[in-house]
Amino acid sequence: MADKCGMEETGFSMRDSMKIKLIVFITLLLLLCPGCGSKTEPEAGQPNLLLISVDTLRADRLGCYGYKRPTSPTIDRLAEEGVLFENAIATSPQTTPSHMSIITGFYPRAHNVYMWGRDENGTYSGRVLSGEIPTLAEILKGYGYTNVAFTGGANVAGKIGFDRGFEIYDEESNSAAAVEWLRENAEEQFFLFYHTYFTHAPYLPLPPYGSRYDPAYLGKIPSYDELTEELGVVKGELWSGIWQALYNRFWSKVNPADPADRYHLHALYDECIGYVDAVFIKELIDTLRTEGILDRTLIVFTSDHGEEFFEHGRKEHDSIYGEVVRVPLIMRLPGALPGGMRIEQLVRGIDIMPTILELLGIPLDVEIQGTSLLAAATDGKELNLKAHSDYNDFFPPVIDSIRSGPWFLLMDQRTRSGGEPGDGSLPRFFQLFNTDDDPGETRNLAEKYPEVAARLRTELRALRIESSRKHAEEGADQEKAAVDRWNVERLKALGYL
């Protein structure tokens, strides 16, 4: 067989031989030119990273997770073109510890960064992430990435450690600024973190969203238009100083005992998701596509926790049942990740960072608690992970849980006698569910399967001990930071202060 030049096929063509000479020449030139091949620059072709966290987004409200309403066409398309994890479990139902797990690979008890709390002087302060624990942004910065974040601040405020490694850490949840940054810096090798509270209560989808899913509602829960009118807020200035009033007014009108009100809350929440998908997420993805960098950007889409609508008697996210800790997790990077792959096994918030690093080809030099999910995503490898989530209004957490396969053990570490766990008396409550047979987690099987409960309780205790040890080794040098005025307003808006 002959090529166009009439030369015999030998495995090398003349063009190949010239290519090799050219590569040798360029290599010699680089060796003779100090600095030309600087190690601080990312490898050519190394993907960008877009990490999106939509706060308070339960997985089962998205089309790609089987929801009946068309809330999420943009996110669904990401799933069709990437890998979707069907059972991703947040480490905490609270924004701060859960997000800190995502960006460090450590469980909350190990990184020990929790929500803002009132200190002995009466001021709100929060523990700052230990300098011994590197963040995702810091690691990527070491490999030449330009890191920028556009977040909602408040419980992901930069000053408690979230801003480490970022050149820009915006706390106004400004998707327009994120889009503008992408347009102006598409040539950069970047990590962009986008976070929004738009699906957090009070659920106020902006018009024309808000009346599609429950147009016949006649109850008292106010719409965006009604609420802004009642409170005399100028539209467009909604997110500037009147937030706490909005939050309180909204919930004061909700009657949880009224099925119509409960139905309407679901509808409003779904509308907020629709808005986020159609506006914020779509604009970000479209910008990547327009700039020609979509397929060389790793997109990771997730949330810090879900939301409860009275399934276990509460509103918002004050428990660790499935509706509150099952979050979406979708990753898209053509060429490195298959399209349309769905992974059923349990995965965790702490696994996101190591998976990202492995996908970007960046080594991890510290021992963390998370595990890379890449082998599961590409080859379906069974990792047999156990997911731990814990919760309390104030640290240290006392409501603890572990998930292993179909089993979910939930317990209050405080004992009925008021003593410490391990003193022999029974915990205040102790529940075991089989989530395959009982996805709503309503039938307590702790007495029926005491051996399963005992095994999981032992594993949970081992996890607690390991996390405490990790904290003692790497997290002990923590400082405290006082909340700033801007974030006080944000926290009031979200119902935290």
Instruction: Write the DSSP symbol of residue 277.
Output: I
Region near Zn ion per CB under 5 A, out of 245-253, 299-307, 394-402, 437-445: 299-307
Region near Zn ion per CB under 5 A, out of 92-100, 110-118, 372-380, 447-455: 92-100
Question: Would you count residue 76 as binding Zn ion (CB under 5 A)?
Answer: no
List residues bridging with 482 in a β-sheet.
125
Residue 210: phi, psi to the nearest 5? Answer: 125, -25
- Find, among 150, 94, 102, 86, the residue nearest to 280 by Cα: 150
Smallest distance, Zn ion to C-beta of residue 135, A: 18
How many angstroms separate the CA atoms of 199 and 192, rounded? 20
Question: Would you count residue 319 as binding Zn ion (CB under 5 A)?
Answer: no
Instruction: Write the DSSP symbol of residue 295.
Output: G
Question: Would you count residue 308 as binding Zn ion (CB under 5 A)?
Answer: no
Residues in 221-260 at the binding interface with Zn ion, rule: CB under 5 A: none
Question: Would you count residue 323 as binding Zn ion (CB under 5 A)?
Answer: no
Smallest distance, Zn ion to C-beta of residue 117, A: 16
Smallest distance, Zn ion to C-beta of residue 491, A: 12
Beta strands in 398-470 (DSSP E): 399-404, 407-412, 430-434
Within its chain, how far is the Cα of 162 from the centroid?
13
**Using an 8 Å Cβ cutoff, are 389 and 93 in contact?**
yes
- Complex with Zn ion: residue 196 or 371, whichever CB lies closer: 196
Smallest distance, Zn ion to C-beta of residue 287, A: 25
- Complex with Zn ion: residue 304 or 308, whichever CB lies closer: 304
- Find, among 439, 440, 414, 438, the residue nearest to 428 by Cα: 414
- Complex with Zn ion: residue 95 or 147, whichever CB lies closer: 95
Site map 401..440 versus Zn ion, x via CB under 5 A: ----------------------------------------
- Find, among 389, 331, 352, the residue nearest to 104 by Cα: 352
Smallest distance, Zn ion to C-beta of residue 92, A: 9
The contacts of residue 194 (CB under 8 Å, 6+ apart) are: 50, 51, 52, 53, 149, 150, 151, 175, 178, 280, 284
Count interface residues toward Zn ion (CB under 5 A): 3
Q: Which pair of structure tokens corresponds to residue 146?
A: 């330009």
- Complex with Zn ion: residue 201 or 267, whichever CB lies closer: 201
Region near Zn ion per CB under 5 A, out of 89-97, 308-316, 418-426, 478-486: 89-97
- Complex with Zn ion: residue 90 or 362, whichever CB lies closer: 90
The C-alpha torsion from 172 through 176 and 179 to 183, rounded to 10°, is: -120
Smallest distance, Zn ion to C-beta of residue 305, A: 5
Work out whether strand 315-316 and strand 308-309 pair parallel, antiparallel, or are unpaired. antiparallel
Site map 258..297 versus Zn ion, x via CB under 5 A: ----------------------------------------
Query: Which listed residue (304, 323, 390, 441) binds Zn ion by CB under 5 A?
Result: 304
What are the residues binding Zn ion (CB under 5 A)? Answer: 55, 95, 304
